[in-house]
């Protein structure tokens, strides 16, 4: 069993990671961090750079949490990468961060969080930054 967290180097991603660490401590479960890109990782601001990953890894090591950090670049969208990891690592929980969006933004852009919420086969915990 594991806890999957969709991580991006933003306030929302940090909030999701914070909560996932708390949940991993409670259940003594492996934490799997997913940070993906469709293939434009060099210009994708949501794809964590080496310094971001090093910071996350150090934090998890200091917290004593069994973890795995994955950065797939396979052309899949982030929701599919999180859902696939949830199946592969038999997730008991998925943790995602939510960002505030306008109604028009939701209509035009679609929603990674919405897809995860609707298609996940395990509970999903959605957190807001600063909450």
**Per-residue model confidence (pLDDT) at position 41:** 62
Prediction pTM value = 0.88
User: For residue range 63-91, what is the model confidence (pLDDT) as tens digits?
Assistant: 999 999 999 988 888 999 999 999 999 99
Which of residues 40 and 48 earns the better pLDDT score? Answer: 48
What is the per-residue pLDDT across 78-130, written as a single tens digit (0 to 9) for each? Answer: 999 999 999 999 999 999 998 776 666 565 555 888 899 999 999 999 998 87
Q: How far is CA 42 from CA 14, 79, 102, in A?
A: 21, 20, 28
User: Residue 40: is its pLDDT beyond 90?
Assistant: no
Chain-centre distance of CA 29, in angstroms?
A: 16
């Amino acid at each position: 069993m594991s806890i999957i967290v969709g991580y991006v180097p933003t306030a929302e991603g940090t909030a999701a990671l914070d909560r996932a660490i708390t949940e991993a401590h409670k259940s003594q479960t492996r934490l799997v961090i997913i940070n993906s890109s469709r293939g434009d990782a060099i210009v994708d601001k949501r794809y964590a750079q080496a310094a971001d990953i090093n910071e996350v890894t150090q934090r998890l090591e200091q917290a004593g949490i069994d973890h795995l950090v994955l950065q797939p670049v396979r052309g899949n969208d982030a929701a599919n990468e999180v859902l696939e990891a949830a199946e592969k690592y038999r997730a008991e929980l998925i943790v995602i961060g939510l960002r505030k969006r306008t109604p028009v933004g939701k209509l035009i852009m679609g929603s990674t969080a919405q897809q995860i919420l609707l298609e996940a086969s395990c509970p999903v915990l959605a957190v807001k930054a600063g909450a």
